[in-house]
Structure 1
Amino acid sequence: MKDSQIFTVALIIAILGLSGMILLSDKITPQEIKIKDLNKGMLDEDVSVVGMVEKIDKSPRSNTYFLQLRDGTGKTTAVVFDNAVLDLEKNNLTPLSFVNHRVKITGKVQQYNGNMELILNDGESLKILV
């Protein structure tokens, strides 16, 4: 094969590969895990957890909420910062409306005082399941 033919084939494959990545990027979703499987190896990764919101506390100094989430394998805290609260309020919801509901939470895994927790990215990261 001539160099020009090899270059043409490589260029076509590169364009097809990039196009495929762009088209499939919407299909990539965070891994759904059980609470017991949260560990330090997942720090800063986005994951999804399904569970029941047992209790919600509000920070006395800010508009931050702490959701206590249980899924049968354990419990953890999901932190909803002010920007995510504002997103929820745009949809006529508040963090308090999720108490005693089964939800799917997508967030970034963080460690706080030795405990693993989820930090919600935005208001779309918290959904009530039927």
Structure 2
Amino acid sequence: MHDKEIFKITLTTTILGLIGLIILSGYVNPEELSVNEIDKSKIDNQVKVTGIIENYTITKTGTMIITLDDGSNVIKVVIFPSTSLNTTLYNGMNITVTARVVEYNGEMELIIEKSKNLEINS
């Protein structure tokens, strides 16, 4: 084969592969876990956790820190001011969060990166 033919085949395969990845990426769902299942092996992964707001505070910089209790344990959920949250939260509210697992001061925490990743359950 000529170099031009090989280039065309390679380019076509690459484009088809990228299109496939874009289409299939919508079907990748975060792992649904209990708080007890979140450990260092989950760092930087997206997880989904449902629980009750035990407590929440807003820092001087506007960061919201929620203590979420799912019945197995509690975990801190952090929402930075850049993630504009369009809902009012209160203690006792049942929520589901999709968030990135991080370790902060030796503890596992969840970081909500998009406001749509916090769902209020009825």
* TM-score bracket for the superposition, by shorter chain length: 0.7 to 0.9
Q: Take 1:9 and 1:114, find their aligned partners in 2: how far apart are those partners? A: 50
Q: Which residue of 1 aligns with 2:118?
A: 126
2:109 alignment partner in structure 1: 117
Give the secondary structure class of the aligned counterpart of 1:54: strand
- Structure 2 residue 96 is the aligned partner of structure 1 residue 104: yes
Provide the secondary structure at the position in 2 that maps to 1:41: helix
1: CA distance, partners of 2:55 / 2:29: 27
Q: Equivalent residue of 1:72, what SS?
A: coil
Could you tell me how far apart the structure 1 residues matched to 2:22 and 2:107 are? 36
Q: CA-to-partner distance for each residue in 1:76-115, whole Å, 9 max, x for gaps?
A: 000111012xx213xxx23xx2431111111111112221
| Cα distance in 2 for residues equivalent to 1:17 and 1:119 | 31
- Aligned letter for 1:80? I
The alignment covers a number of residue pairs equal to 119
Tell me which amino acid in the other structure corresponds to 1:102. Answer: N
Residue in 1 that maps onto 2:42: 42
**Matches of 1:108 and 1:69 in 2, distance apart?**
15
Cα deviations across residues 26-85 of structure 1 (Å, max 9, x unaligned)? Answer: 1222111110011111112111111111111121x210111010111111000111012x
Identity of aligned residues (%): 31
2:74 aligned residue:
75
Q: What is the TM-score when the length of structure 2 is the normalising length?
A: 0.82
Q: Deviation of residue 18 (structure 1)? A: 3.4
- One-letter identity of the residue aligned with 2:18: L
Q: 2:61 is paired with a residue of what secondary structure?
A: coil
Give the aligned CA root-mean-square deviation in angstroms: 2.1
**Gap regions ≥5 residues in structure 1:** none
Q: Which runs of 5+ in 2 are unaligned?
A: none
* Corresponding letter in the other structure for 2:85: L
Structure 2 counterpart of 1:88, from 85, 89, 101: 85
